[in-house]
C-alpha cells in the first residue's frame, strides 16, 4: 500500500515538507538490512514514508494520525539493528534524528536528561567535563544515550555505571495511542530524578526484559543516572585514525587483562573485585575480541588472534582501575594483585606492557568505540547469542553451555572460526552478570539455517537448564517458546500490548503482537 | 572499476552510523560530533555514507533506478571523504569509492545534472571548469619573471589550478608562491595556458573527462622534463598525486602541495621566515589535502574465500592516516608571531568547507550552509583568521564570511609565509 495524497499531506502538515518523504530512494536507504542477524534478504519491507519530527508534540501528532489512518509506525533513534525495520506494509518510519538535545545534566542529583538522538559519546564527553560519567551502551558510543533506546543497555562500564534498565529515571513516553505519559517524579512535579514516584510508575510495562524494541510507542526523553568520574575532563588522545592512543596513560589509571585456569577461578576473582569495589570497568574478554579491538585491520586481527590465543590459559577478564586519589589507586591496585594471586589470574602483560597499546585499549574500552571492530569488521555480520541478566554464575554457565553449540557451526564452515569462548561480565560491583557469544559470518542460506538451528539449541539450553529468558528473546515466536515455561508471561505481555495499543498502531513484530 | 566491483564493500555496511560522526574517540562534547555535512543538513539516512551504500546495492539489485531524487541525493554530497575515514576506523571496506562510482555509473548512462553538464562542456571546450577566457588564464603571473614550461624545460613546475587562475582573490597566493620559490633559488615553470587537472570532473562522476585531462596534462609535464609539480590547490594536489596514480599516468612525477614544498625549503634553510606576523589563526584542513591527500595504494587482487574479509594479496586500505597534516602546521608554526589554535574538528575528521564534489555548482545554498557551520566552529576558537591551503576552501569561506558580515580574515598559508619572508 502507498500513502494516498491526503494522508501524505496530513503527515507533511505535522513535520513540514522537508522532513517527510515517500520516495523509494529515501525509503530504500532505510530498508538496507543491518549486519545484526542479517539473513538472506538484502532489503527489509519498505516503509510507506519516513518522517522526522523535531519534538514530542510532533511525535504525538504523528502517532495519533497513524491511529486515525489505520497505519502503523516504528520509531528509531540511532537505527542500528533489525528491530528498526518494518516487517510488512503499512508502516511509517519515525526517524528521531532531529530530537538530539541534551536537556539537562544535573550535577547535584546525578542525572542527565536526553532526547533519543544524543549519542553515547556526546553524553559521556559532556559528563566527563563535569567530573561525571554515564554508562555506555556496549554496542558502542555511536548508539543512543537514551537508557531505554534499545535492548539491555549493558556496557563496558556496567561494573561501576550499571545498565539501561537500572539507570532509567523519569521518562517521557508517547504511548501507542498518542497519549503523553510522564513517569515518576516527572508526572508529579516535572522533575526528572526518579522513575517510580512520586507519580505513576510503569517501568515494567514500558521496558519488559529487553525493551519493546520499538513496538510500544515512542520514548521521547529520559533521565539516566550519572556516576562520579575521577579522570581528566577529556582523554589525551593522540594520533590519526585508526591509530589513536594517548601519549601517556593518565595518572591513577590502570588496565590489566587476566586469564584464569577455570571459570570457577574467574567467577571467584570477579566476585572479589566486585565486593571490594576496585574496578571502574570489569569486562569479560576472549582472544578473538581483544584481537579485533586492538587491530586496525582484519589482517592484523588474524595475526593478533593467533598470538593472544597462545597467551590465555582460560576464561578471561579486563579490568580498568581509576583511583580517586593516589592512595585510593594504590589500595585498588594492591587489592587487584592480591585477588589475582589468590585466584591464579595470569596477567597478559604482553598486551599492557606497551603504554601505547595499553593506553589505546584503556580509552577504547572506556569510550566503547571498538564494538564495531569486534563484532562487524571480520565479516560484516553478527549473529551471536546475547544472554540474559541474572546472577553472574548462572549467566556464565548458560553462555558457556551455549558456546559449545557454536562449535558445530564452525565445523561446518558456516561461521568464522574465531575459536572464541563466550565472555561474561559482572555488573554493579555485585553478583549480577551478563554473558554473550560472538558469532560472525557472511550471510547465506546455509549459514542462516545453521544460525536458526543454533538458536533452537540455545533455547533448549535456556529452558531445560532453567537459565531464565535470554536477551535474544523477542518477537512472537520466541516469546511463545519461553512464555509457557516462565509463568506464561507472554500472555501478560500480549495483554499489555493490547491494552496500551488498542489500534495496533505501534509495529510490534520485534516485540510481541496481539495475535490470539 | 564499476559499481558491481564494490558490491561486497557496499554489502559490508552494518548500518552502525559511524559514518555520520567524527571518530568516536575524538568526541569531546555535545557539539561538533557530526562529520558529514550531507546527513547533517538533509537528515534522512539516504544522505549519509551508509545510506548511499544501501542505495548502491538497491541500484545493483534493480530496486531503484536513476531518478531526479536519486541524483538529488547523490549530488548533495561534497565527496569530502569524512564518512570513509570514520567508517574505516573500525571497518575494512571502501565507502567513498563506491559512492563516487554511483555518480560515474550515472554519468555513463546519461543521468546527469544540467548544471554539471554545462561545466563539463566548458572543460571539454576550453580546458577549464571555471567560466572565463582561456587566453587570460595566465594573467595571474603577469609581471613575474617565470618561465613557460611548455616552451622551456623545467624540473619544477607550478600548477595554479582553475580556481586560482580565474579568481583575483587567489592571485596573491599564487604570485607569492613563485616569489618564494625564486627567493629559494628555484626556477619553477608555469603553463600560461594550463588546463584543468580534472579532479573535480572526477568527483562529479565524469571519469572519462578526468582521464582525458590527466593524459593531456601529463603529456605536457613529461615534455617539460619536470620531476616535481607543486600546487597550492588541494583539489589539484589530490588529482595529480592520487587520481593520476589511480589512472596509471603519473609515472615518477613528485607531487607536492605548497605547504609541503615550502616546509621542505624552510627545513633545508633555503627559506627563513623572520618577519613577525602578529596574528591569531586557526588552520582548516582541506579534505583533498588532509584525509584524501594520502598516497594512492595500488592493489589488484581478490577477496579470499572464507568467512573473514581478507584479500589476496593483502589489501591496505586508505584510511586518511597518511594525509598531509603536519607540513601546513609546521609552516604556520615557523612564522614568528603567529599563534595557532586548533578547531574542534581537525585533520582526518575536519569538517568540509562545503565547496567540493560539485555542490557549489549544484546547490550553492548547501555549500554556504556547510561553510557557515565551519565558520561558527572557527568563531569558537576566538582567532582573527582562518588559514588553509585550498582556493576552493578559501573562496567558500570568504563568501560565507561576507554574507554573515563577519570580520574573520581568510589567508592561504603561502600568503602568511610570504609576509614573513618577502
Task: Write down the pLDDT at residue A202.
Answer: 87
Answer whether residue B355 is part of any domain: no
Q: CA-nearest residue of chain B to A380?
A: B12
Nearest chain A Cα distance for residue B292, angstroms: 13
Task: Write down the pLDDT at residue A99.
Answer: 98
Nearest chain A Cα distance for residue B84, angstroms: 11
CB distance from B93 to chain A under 8 Å? yes
Asked if residue B129 and residue B5 are part of one domain, the reply reads no
Q: Using alpha carbons, select from A78, A82, A68 the residue that is nearest to residue A10.
A: A68
List chain A residues with CB under 8 Å of B323.
Answer: 240
Q: Above 70 in pLDDT, residue B134?
A: no
Contact A241 B323 (CB under 8 A): no
Q: What would the mean pLDDT of B59-83 be, rounded to a whole number?
A: 98
Residues in chain A: 516
CB distance from A23 to chain B under 8 Å? yes
CA distance A423 to A438: 8
CB distance from A298 to chain B under 8 Å? yes
The region of weakest confidence among A100-114, A152-166, B24-38, B252-266 is A152-166
Task: Write down the pLDDT at residue B135.
Answer: 58
Nearest chain B Cα distance for residue A432, angstroms: 29
**Residue B254 CB neighbours (<10 A):** 15
Task: Write down the pLDDT at residue A450.
Answer: 97
CA atoms within 13 A on the CB side of A366: 33
The pLDDT confidence band at residue B63, using thresholds 50, 70 and 90, is very high
The H or E element containing residue A75 is: strand A72-76
Dump the DSSP string for A7-71. Answer: HHHHHHHHH-GGGEE--HHHHHHHHBPPSBT--S-SBPPPPSEEE---SHHHHHHHHHHHHHHT-
Q: Above 90 in pLDDT, residue A209?
A: no
List chain A residues with CB under 8 Å of B14.
Answer: 34-36, 80, 372, 375-376, 380-382
3-state DSSP assignment of residue B17: coil
Is residue B38 within 8 A of residue A92, CB to CB? The reply is no
Answer whether residue B394 is part of any domain: no
Q: CA-nearest residue of chain B to A414?
A: B307
Answer whether residue B262 is part of any domain: yes
Task: Write down the pLDDT at residue A290.
Answer: 94
Cell readout for B382 is 576566538
Residue B255, domain CATH? 3.40.50.1860
Contact B11 A42 (CB under 8 A): yes
CA distance B278 to B276: 6
Mean pLDDT for all residues in chain B: 97
| Nearest by CB: B28 against A125, A243, A416 | A125
- Which residues 348-377 of chain B have a CB within 8 Å of chain A? 348-349
Asked if residue B126 and residue B257 are part of one domain, the reply reads yes
E strands, A365-444, in order: 385-391, 423-427, 432-437
CB distance from B137 to chain A under 8 Å? no
CB distance from A196 to chain B under 8 Å? no
Nearest chain B Cα distance for residue A273, angstroms: 27
The pLDDT confidence band at residue A207, using thresholds 50, 70 and 90, is confident
Cell readout for B58 is 538497491
Q: Above 70 in pLDDT, residue A150?
A: yes
Asked if residue B253 and residue B129 are part of one domain, the reply reads yes
* b/e sequence A24-36, b meaning 16+ C-beta within 10 Å: bbbbbbbbbbbbb
Asked if residue B93 and residue B17 are part of one domain, the reply reads yes
CB-based contacts of B48, cutoff 8 Å, min separation 6: A29, B17, B19, B20, B36, B38, B39, B83
Asked if residue B137 and residue B105 are part of one domain, the reply reads no
Q: Where is pLDDT greater, at B129 or B235? A: B235
Asked if residue B131 and residue B256 are part of one domain, the reply reads yes
Facing residues of A390 across strands? A433
3-state DSSP assignment of residue B41: helix
CA R_g for chain B: 21
CB distance from B331 to chain A under 8 Å? no
Mean pLDDT for all residues in chain A: 95
Asked if residue B262 and residue B120 are part of one domain, the reply reads yes
Contact A31 B54 (CB under 8 A): yes
Q: Using alpha carbons, select from B170, B386, B377 the residue that is nearest to residue B279.
A: B386
- Which whole-number Å values give the CA distances from A26 to A22, A209, B46, in the listed order? 7, 33, 5
The pLDDT confidence band at residue A425, using thresholds 50, 70 and 90, is very high
CB distance from B411 to chain A under 8 Å? no
The total number of structural domains that make up chain B: 2
List chain A residues with CB under 8 Å of B310.
Answer: 298-299, 302
Asked if residue B227 and residue B105 are part of one domain, the reply reads no
Q: Where is pLDDT greater, at B234 or A356? A: B234
Residue tagged 578547531 (cell numbers): B343
Note down the domain range covering B246: 114-267
Tens of pLDDT along B8-58?
A: 999 999 999 999 999 999 999 999 999 999 999 999 999 999 999 999 999
Tens of pLDDT along B193-207?
A: 999 999 999 999 999
Contact B16 A30 (CB under 8 A): no
Task: Write down the pLDDT at residue A2.
Answer: 75
Answer whether residue B150 is part of any domain: yes
List chain A residues with CB under 8 Å of B6.
Answer: none
The H or E element containing residue A491 is: helix A489-500
Q: What would the mean pLDDT of B245-272 be, rounded to a whole number?
A: 98
Q: Where is pLDDT greater, at A423 or B69? A: B69
The dihedral over CA atoms of A295, A299, A303, A306, expressed in degrees to the nearest 10, equals 100
The pLDDT confidence band at residue A8, using thresholds 50, 70 and 90, is very high
E strands, A177-327, in order: 180-182, 218-225, 227-228, 237-238, 245-246, 253-259, 281-285, 316-322
Answer whether residue B59 is part of any domain: yes
Where do the domains of chain A lie, and which CATH numbers do they carry? 5-98 (3.30.43.10), 102-228 (3.30.465.10), 237-375 (3.30.70.3450), 379-474 (3.30.300)
Mutate to test the interface with B, among A18, A28, A446 (most CBs of B within 10 A): A28
Q: What would the mean pLDDT of B123-130 be, rounded to a whole number?
A: 90
Q: Using alpha carbons, select from B11, B209, B195, B2 the residue that is nearest to residue B112.
A: B209
CB distance from A410 to chain B under 8 Å? no
Asked if residue B69 and residue B156 are part of one domain, the reply reads no
Phi/psi for A57 (5° steps) reads -60, -40
Answer whether residue B179 is part of any domain: yes
| Nearest by CB: A23 against B18, B50, B69 | B69
List chain A residues with CB under 8 Å of B64.
Answer: 24-25, 28
Percentage of residues of chain A with pLDDT beyond 70: 100
Given B248, B267, B286, the domain boundary residue is: B267
Mutate to test the interface with A, among B9, B30, B314 (most CBs of A within 10 A): B30
Answer whether residue B364 is part of any domain: no
Tens of pLDDT along A385-418?
A: 899 999 999 999 999 999 999 999 999 999 999 9
Mutate to test the interface with B, among A17, A19, A26, A29 (most CBs of B within 10 A): A29
Q: Above 80 in pLDDT, residue A18?
A: yes
Task: Write down the pLDDT at residue B133.
Answer: 59
CB-based contacts of B396, cutoff 8 Å, min separation 6: B353, B354, B355, B360, B367, B370, B371
Nearest chain B Cα distance for residue A25, angstroms: 6
Alpha helix stretches (DSSP H) within B167-298:
171-183, 199-203, 207-224, 234-238, 244-247, 258-267
Given B246, B267, B288, the domain boundary residue is: B267
What helix, strand, coil percent values describe chain A, rounded to 5?
Answer: 40, 20, 40
Asked if residue B159 and residue B238 are part of one domain, the reply reads yes
Contact A52 B69 (CB under 8 A): no
3-state DSSP assignment of residue B334: helix
| Nearest by CB: A26 against B25, B46, B317 | B46
Q: What angle, 0 to 180 degrees and rounded to 10, lies between the N-to-C axes of helices A5-15 and A56-69? A: 170
Say yes or no: ipTM exceeds 0.95.
yes
CB-based contacts of A478, cutoff 8 Å, min separation 6: A459, A472
Alpha helix stretches (DSSP H) within B109-155:
114-126
The region of weakest confidence among A209-213, A216-220, A456-460, B59-63 is A209-213
3-state DSSP assignment of residue A339: helix
| Nearest by CB: B44 against A50, A242, A378 | A50
Asked if residue B87 and residue B227 are part of one domain, the reply reads no
Q: CA-nearest residue of chain A to B66?
A: A25
CA distance B210 to B218: 12
Q: What would the mean pLDDT of A144-168 be, rounded to a whole number?
A: 92
Answer whether residue B383 is part of any domain: no
Nearest chain B Cα distance for residue A446, angstroms: 13
CB distance from B396 to chain A under 8 Å? no
CB distance from B385 to chain A under 8 Å? no
* Chain centre distance of CA B393: 9
∠ CA A88-A89-A92 to the nearest 5 degrees? 105
Number of inter-chain CB pairs under 8 A, A vs B: 204
Tens of pLDDT along B276-321?
A: 999 999 999 999 999 999 999 999 999 999 999 999 999 999 999 9
Q: Using alpha carbons, select from A346, A227, A241 the residue that is nearest to residue A281.
A: A227
Contact A364 B25 (CB under 8 A): yes
| Nearest by CB: A25 against B67, B306, B314 | B67
Given B64, B80, B112, the domain boundary residue is: B112
CB distance from B34 to chain A under 8 Å? no
Asked if residue B107 and residue B155 are part of one domain, the reply reads no
Nearest chain A Cα distance for residue B60, angstroms: 11
Cell readout for B22 is 567524527
| Nearest by CB: B348 against A142, A241, A375 | A241
CA distance A470 to A431: 17
CB distance from A63 to chain B under 8 Å? no
The pLDDT confidence band at residue A1, using thresholds 50, 70 and 90, is low
Amino acid at each position: 500500500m502507498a500513502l494516498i495524497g491526503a494522508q501524505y499531506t496530513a503527515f507533511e502538515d505535522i513535520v513540514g515538507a522537508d522532513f517527510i518523504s515517500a520516495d523509494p530512494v529515501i525509503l530504500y536507504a532505510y530498508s538496507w538490512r543491518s549486519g545484526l542477524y542479517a539473513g538472506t534478504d538484502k532489503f527489509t519491507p519498505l516503509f510507506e514514508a519516513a518522517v522526522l519530527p523535531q519534538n514530542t508534540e510532533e511525535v504525538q501528532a504523528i502517532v495519533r494520525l497513524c491511529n486515525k489512518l489505520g497505519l502503523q509506525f516504528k520509531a528509531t533513534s540511532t537505527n542500528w539493528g533489525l528491530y528498526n525495520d518494518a516487517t510488512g506494509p503499512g508502516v511509517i518510519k519515525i526517524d528521531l534524528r532531529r530530537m538530539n538535545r541534551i536537556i539537562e545534566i544535573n550535577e547535584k542529583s546525578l542525572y542527565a536528561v536526553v532526547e533519543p538522538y544524543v549519542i553515547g559519546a556526546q553524553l559521556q564527553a559532556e559528563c566527563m567535563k563535569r567530573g561525571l560519567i554515564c554508562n555506555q551502551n556496549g554496542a558502542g558510543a555511536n548508539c543512543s544515550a537514551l537508557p531505554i533506546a534499545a535492548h539491555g543497555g549493558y556496557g563496558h562500564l556496567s561494573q561501576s555505571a550499571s545498565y539501561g534498565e537500572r539507570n532509567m529515571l523519569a521518562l517521557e513516553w508517547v504511548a501507542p495511542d498518542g497519549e503523553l505519559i510522564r513517569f515518576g517524579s516527572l508526572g508529579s512535579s516535572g522533575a526528572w530524578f526518579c522513575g517510580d514516584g512520586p507519580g505513576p510508575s510503569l517501568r515494567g510495562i514500558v521496558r519488559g526484559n529487553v525493551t519493546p524494541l520499538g513496538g510500544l510507542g515512542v520514548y521521547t526523553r529520559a533521565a539516566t543516572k550519572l556516576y562520579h568520574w575521577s579522570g581528566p575532563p577529556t582523554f589525551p588522545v593522540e594520533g590519526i585514525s585508526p591509530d589513536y592512543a594517548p601519549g601517556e596513560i593518565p595518572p591513577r589509571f590502570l588496565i590489566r587483562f587476566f586469564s584464569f585456569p577455570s571459570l570457577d577461578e574467574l567467577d571467584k576473582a570477579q566476585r572479589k573485585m566486585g565486593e571490594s569495589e576496585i574496578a571502574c570497568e570489569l569486562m569479560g574478554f576472549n582472544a578473538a575480541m581483544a584481537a579485533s579491538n586492538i587491530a586496525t585491520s582484519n589482517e592484523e586481527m588474524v595475526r593478533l588472534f593467533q598470538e593472544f590465543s597462545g597467551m590465555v590459559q582460560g576464561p578471561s577478564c579486563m579490568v580498568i582501575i581509576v583511583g580517586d586519589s593516589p592512595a585510593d589507586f594504590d589500595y585498588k591496585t594492591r587489592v587487584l594483585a592480591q585477588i589475582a594471586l589468590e585466584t591464579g589470574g595470569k596477567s597478559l602483560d604482553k598486551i599492557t606492557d606497551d603504554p601505547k597499546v595499553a593506553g589505546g585499549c584503556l580509552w577504547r574500552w572506556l569510550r566503547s568505540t571498538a564494538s564495531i571492530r569486534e563484532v562487524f569488521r571480520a565479516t560484516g555480520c553478527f549473529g551471536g547469542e546475547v544472554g540474559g541478566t541474572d546472577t553472574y554464575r548462572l549467566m556464565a554457565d548458560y553462555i558457556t553451555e551455549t558456546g559449545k553449540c557454536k562449535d558445530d557451526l564452525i565445523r561446518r564452515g558456516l561461521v568464522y572460526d574465531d575459536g572464541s569462548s563466550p565472555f561474561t561480565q559482572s555488573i554493579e560491583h555485585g553478583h549480577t552478570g551478563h554473558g554473550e557469544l560472538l558469532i560472525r559470518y557472511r550471510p547465506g542460506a546455509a549459514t542462516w539455517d545453521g544460525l536458526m538451528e543454533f538458536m533452537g539449541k540455545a533455547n533448549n539450553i535456556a529452558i531445560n537448564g532453567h537459565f531464565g529468558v535470554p536477551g535474544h528473546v523477542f518477537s512472537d515466536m520466541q516469546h511463545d517458546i519461553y512464555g509457557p515455561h516462565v509463568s506464561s508471561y507472554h500472555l501478560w505481555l500480549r495483554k499489555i500490548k493490547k491494552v496500551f495499543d488498542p489500534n495496533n498502531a505501534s509495529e510490534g513484530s520485534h516485540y510481541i503482537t496481539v495475535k490470539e | 572499476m564499476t559499481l558491481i566491483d564494490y558490491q561486497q564493500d557496499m554489502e559490508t555496511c552494518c548500518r552502525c552510523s559511524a559514518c555520520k560522526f567524527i571518530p568516536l574517540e575524538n568526541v569531546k562534547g555535545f557539539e561538533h560530533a557530526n562529520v558529514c555535512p550531507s546527513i547533517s543538513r538533509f537528515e534522512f539516512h539516504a544522505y549519509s555514507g551508509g545510506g548511499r551504500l544501501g542505495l548502491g546495492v538497491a541500484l545493483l539489485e534493480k530496486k531503484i533506478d536513476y531518478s531526479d531524487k536519486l541524483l538529488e541525493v547523490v549530488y548533495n554530497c561534497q565527496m569530502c571523504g569524512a564518512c570513509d575515514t570514520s567508517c574505516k576506523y573500525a571497518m575494512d571496506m571502501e565507502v567513498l569509492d563506491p559512492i563516487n562510482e554511483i555518480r560515474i555509473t550515472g554519468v555513463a548512462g546519461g543521468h546527469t545534472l544540467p548544471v554539471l553538464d554545462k561545466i563539463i562542456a566548458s572543460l571539454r571546450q576550453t580546458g577549464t571548469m571555471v567560466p572565463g577566457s582561456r587566453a587570460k588564464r595566465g594573467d595571474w603571473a603577469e609581471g613575474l619573471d617565470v618561465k613557460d614550461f611548455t616552451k622551456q624545460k623545467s624540473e619544477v613546475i607550478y600548477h595554479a589550478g582553475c580556481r586560482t587562475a580565474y579568481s583575483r582573490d587567489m592571485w596573491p597566493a599564487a604570485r607569492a608562491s613563485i616569489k618564494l620559490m625564486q627567493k629559494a633559488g628555484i626556477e619553477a615553470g608555469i603553463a600560461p595556458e594550463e588546463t584543468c587537472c580534472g579532479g573535480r570532473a572526477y568527483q562529479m562522476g565524469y571519469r572519462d573527462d578526468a582521464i582525458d585531462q590527466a593524459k593531456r596534462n601529463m603529456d605536457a609535464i613529461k615534455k617539460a622534463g619536470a620531476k616535481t609539480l607543486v600546487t597550492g590547490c588541494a583539489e589539484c594536489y589530490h588529482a595529480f598525486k592520487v587520481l593520476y596514480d589511480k589512472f596509471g599516468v603519473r609515472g615518477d612525477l613528485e607531487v607536492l602541495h605548497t605547504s609541503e614544498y615550502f616546509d621542505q625549503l624552510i627545513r633545508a634553510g633555503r627559506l627563513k621566515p623572520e618577519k613577525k606576523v602578529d596574528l591569531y589563526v586557526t588552520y582548516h584542513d582541506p579534505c583533498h589535502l588532509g584525509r584524501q591527500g594520502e598516497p594512492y595504494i595500488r592493489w589488484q587482487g581478490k577477496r579470499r574465500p572464507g568467512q573473514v574479509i581478507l584479500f589476496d594479496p593483502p589489501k591496505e586500505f586508505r584510511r586518511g592516516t597518511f594525509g598531509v597534516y603536519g607540513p601546513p602546521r609546521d609552516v604556520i608554526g615557523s612564522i614568528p608571531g603567529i599563534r595557532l589554535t586548533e578547531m574542534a574538528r581537525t585533520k582526518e575528521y575536519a569538517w568540509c568547507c562545503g565547496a567540493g564534489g560539485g555542490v557549489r555548482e549544484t546547490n550553492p545554498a548547501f555549500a554556504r550552509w556547510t561553510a557557515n557551520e565551519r565558520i561558527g566552529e572557527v568563531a569558537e576558537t576566538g582567532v582573527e583568521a582562518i588559514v588553509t591551503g585550498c582556493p576552493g576552501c578559501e573562496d567558500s569561506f570568504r563568501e560565507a564570511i561576507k554574507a554573515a558580515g563577519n570580520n574573520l580574515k581568510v589567508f592561504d598559508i603561502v600568503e602568511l609565509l610570504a609576509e614573513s619572508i618577502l
